[in-house]
Structure 1
Amino acid sequence: MTAVRNVHERVIDAPAAAVGALLDRLSAADDPIFPTPAWPRMRLDRPLAVGADGGHGRIRYHVTAYEPGSRVRFDTPPGGGLDGYHELTVAPLGAERCRVRHVLECEVRGAGILQWGLVIRHLHDTMIEEIFDNIERAAAGGVARPVRWSPWVRLLHRLTWARPRAVGTPAEARLIRSSVDRPDYVDAYRVDLLPGLPRDPAAWTGVLRDAFPVLARDDGELLMDVNTAGLTARASILVDDRHVTLSTAVKTDSPRARAYWGVVKLVHPVMARTMLRRAHRALALAAPSAGERAQAQSPAPERS
């Protein structure tokens, strides 16, 4: 067993009350500081308060202490490999400055020791510094030295990015459901619509690298013609309040089409998941940060 203590802190040129107000919005729909969509969003089962339970990505925790405007503590459940807590505090340094501090203390056991040293610590350190960047953007109007990702963090981020889940064709995907009569094959894959990601399905057409023609668009869904080698094939991108879903419907109209699809369908699920995952990550990395979104909505007042 190894004891870990990891501390980050930064002085922010903004009143503690302004920064504390940002802290109070953690996990809310308009959370201005948690660094999503580049990282999985923080979700709690209720508004920020003692007893709230949730996490981000695979990391689980629950709120065990909360002092509005100044402190929140999250304890991790026992047996998860990192038994301990995270704590984020805001302390005034006069009327116009404050110190933000994040402390992680935990006990790491077994394979978790290696995982912490090689993976988790690097991702954790980068994420916390991005939280601080967002606080500066939202409260002080900008950040002087934003965190830079190391090549190792970029690789880890790519490897650990969430993979699309297989689902049934959504009932809301009316265009693709009516586009192919009695299809021989259908599938659908889904990713989370993280805060800051585009809600216009046209922004997601990069999922399919070829320039397939758009046949129709309706109520958050875009339908594309992906016919090839005698197949009647359609692909649909549906964006709803929580997800982006890529659906496919295929009909084999001839012996040539059946022979072609018999081979392609073996790799199609892997290709569809890979393309959706690649587009999901690329759009997340290109999107404005939470702090930039908050700054755009409510610019910080000019300081004398």
Structure 2
Amino acid sequence: MGMVRDEHERVIEAPAEVVGALLDRLSAEDDPLFPTPAWQAMTFDRPLGVGATGGHGPVRYGVTEYEPGSRVRFAFTPPGNGFHEMSVEPAGEGRCRVRHVLESAPRGGDRLLWPAVVRPLHGTVVEEVFDNIERAATGGCARPVRWSLRVRLCHRLLWDRPETVAVPEAARLLRAAVDRPGYEDAYRMPLLPGQPRDPEAWTGILRDAFPVIAREGDELLLEVQVRGLTARASILVDGRHVTLSSTVRTDTLGGRIYWGVVKRLHPFMARTMLRRTHRRLALAAPSAGERELERRRTPVSGPSHLVSG
């Protein structure tokens, strides 16, 4: 396979200067275009401008050309090659055309991944960027992109997995709940733009099977009702991560036998439930364009384009 070129464009019923101003906020803290949290955010080590480096997820690139309000080009970081570029140009009175162009020469295994995985995912992300442009510039989107079965499957398989960590110091309810625990664990995932910050929204991690018995700030304490065990679970949302922690003490011989079997499955089940809920809430969150419309209804003070790395 030689050079591939992938182009997408859409006419937006809004002036080019309006859409160009939205383009200038790519990668900002209040980015109104990139389709997070369903997809990993575009982030850089500095505000959008020539020399900024970063990318989204495993795709890494840097800004090599930037014309504020009209065009930005990103060059892929080696071993990648080529570029992708977003541009805005007038298309008549009160209208403009947005275009995204990608050129690259896949090598090795990428020659198989491009048609099978990368192209459908890339195309969906670009069309969702266009959907958000349309929402933010006109107040709505007439025909939002629909995910193909292949995109849905790849998205499910490629979703991030929880990180194993120590029980957070901030999980004070959990730390005080069980005296002399014989087992502790914790798993966390990053909070993405648009995901809820209220720990109540995350109780689905445990399928609402365990009652909430206490709340303190950003932590919920849940009771795990199993005979022979004293067990508690904690959901902590600290502004950057959501963490699911557990602590267990066996109280009877039956409890020790039961826990001796279950603790082998517990880490897998906890990670699976956290990952599933994390993805579900990401897909249910308002789009970047919808969040932009909500911000306009409830304006806040302060600069809009902050370092996003």
Contact map agreement 1:32 1:294 (CA 8 A) in 2: yes
Contact map agreement 1:204 1:237 (CA 8 A) in 2: yes
User: 1:28 matched to which residue of 2?
Assistant: 28
Count residues with an aligned counterpart.
Answer: 297
User: 1:16 matched to which residue of 2?
Assistant: 16
Deviation at 1:286, TM superposition (A): 0.9
What amino acid is aligned across from residue 62 of structure 1 in structure 2? G
Where in structure 2 are the equivalents of 1:18-97 lying within 5 Å?
18-79=18-79, 82-97=80-95
SS of structure 1 residue aligned to 2:8: strand
Structure 1: tracts of 5 or more residues without a match = 300-304
Deviation at 1:189, TM superposition (A): 0.8
Cα distance in 1 for partners of 2:52, 2:194 equals: 24
Match of 2:261 among 263, 266, 274: 263
The structure whose RCO (Cα within 8 Å, separation 6+) is larger is 2
Cα distance in 2 for partners of 1:25, 1:190 equals: 29
Deviation at 1:62, TM superposition (A): 1.2
Cα distance in 1 for partners of 2:292, 2:276 equals: 26
User: 1:221 matched to which residue of 2?
Assistant: 219
User: 2:301 matched to which residue of 1?
Assistant: none
CA offsets, 1:6-38, max 9 Å, x none?
A: 000001010111111111111111110100011
Deviation at 1:125, TM superposition (A): 0.4
CA offsets, 1:172-213, max 9 Å, x none?
A: 111112111221111111111111111100000000014311
Task: Kindly report the root-mean-square deviation, in angstroms, between the aligned alpha carbons of the 2 structures.
Answer: 1.2
Cα distance in 2 for partners of 1:36, 1:257 equals: 44
Moved more, 272-281 or 64-73: 64-73
What amino acid is aligned across from residue 232 of structure 2 in structure 1? R
Contact map agreement 1:161 1:281 (CA 8 A) in 2: yes
User: 1:302 matched to which residue of 2?
Assistant: none
What amino acid is aligned across from residue 159 of structure 1 in structure 2? L
Cα distance in 2 for partners of 1:36, 1:295 equals: 15
Name segments (4+ residues, structure 1) moved above 6 Å. Answer: none
SS of structure 2 residue aligned to 1:114: helix
Structure 2: tracts of 5 or more residues without a match = 298-309
Contact map agreement 1:50 1:63 (CA 8 A) in 2: yes
SS of structure 1 residue aligned to 2:81: strand
Contact map agreement 2:228 2:253 (CA 8 A) in 1: no
User: 1:145 matched to which residue of 2?
Assistant: 143
Deviation at 1:55, TM superposition (A): 1.4
Name the TM-score, length of structure 1 as normaliser.
Answer: 0.95
Where in structure 2 are the equivalents of 1:93-172 lying within 5 Å?
93-172=91-170
Match of 1:290 among 288, 291, 297: 288
Contact map agreement 2:71 2:87 (CA 8 A) in 1: yes
Cα distance in 1 for partners of 2:61, 2:168 equals: 31
Moved more, 11-20 or 221-230: 221-230
Cα distance in 1 for partners of 2:202, 2:150 equals: 28
CA offsets, 1:64-89, max 9 Å, x none?
A: 1111111111111111xx42111111
User: 1:234 matched to which residue of 2?
Assistant: 232
Percent identical among aligned pairs is: 67
What amino acid is aligned across from residue 194 of structure 1 in structure 2? L
What amino acid is aligned across from residue 21 of structure 1 in structure 2? A
Moved more, 28-37 or 221-230: 221-230
Deviation at 1:127, TM superposition (A): 0.6
SS of structure 2 residue aligned to 1:124: helix
Name the TM-score, length of structure 2 as normaliser.
Answer: 0.93
SS of structure 1 residue aligned to 2:88: strand
Deviation at 1:2, TM superposition (A): 2.6
Q: Does 1:243 align with 2:234?
A: no
What amino acid is aligned across from residue 229 of structure 1 in structure 2? R
Contact map agreement 1:229 1:260 (CA 8 A) in 2: no
Deviation at 1:252, TM superposition (A): 1.1
Cα distance in 2 for partners of 1:248, 1:54 equals: 35
Contact map agreement 1:9 1:102 (CA 8 A) in 2: yes
User: 1:272 matched to which residue of 2?
Assistant: 270
User: 1:175 matched to which residue of 2?
Assistant: 173
